[in-house]
Amino acid sequence: MELLYNLLIVVFFMGGAFFFFVGTLGLIRMPDVFCRMHATTKCDTLGAGLILIGLMLYRGFDILSLKLLLIIMFIWITNPTAAHIIAKAEHNKGERDVKLDEE
């Protein structure tokens, strides 16, 4: 049973690392600022959530798990909000989209 529990923890850690990697690829490969921001925000939020859930399972359920849960909730609220504000500011500048090959 402990082997399955440890395997579940590893799955959460690897899933989080995978989404961080995909977000990095999205940052490099996407053509404009809105696509890049979308890819990194979604992947970073999910990657951080999965890693923190893995840490909760690794540590066990105590006061630290409650703190990690609060951090997860904070990340789930602030990451999309910050990305929306940055995208709205970029849109309000009124310039054309900056393509990757124009930089």
Q: What are the residue ranges spanned by the domains of the chain?
A: 2-88
In a 10 Å sphere around its CB, with 0-12 CB exposed, 13-18 middle and 19+ buried, how is residue 44 labelled? buried
- Would you place residue 91 in the very low, low, confident or very high pLDDT band (cuts 50, 70, 90)? confident
In a 10 Å sphere around its CB, with 0-12 CB exposed, 13-18 middle and 19+ buried, how is residue 103 labelled? exposed
In a 10 Å sphere around its CB, with 0-12 CB exposed, 13-18 middle and 19+ buried, how is residue 98 labelled? middle
Q: Taking the model in full, what pTM does it have?
A: 0.84
Residue 92, pLDDT score: 87
| Distance, C-alpha 70 to centroid of its chain | 16
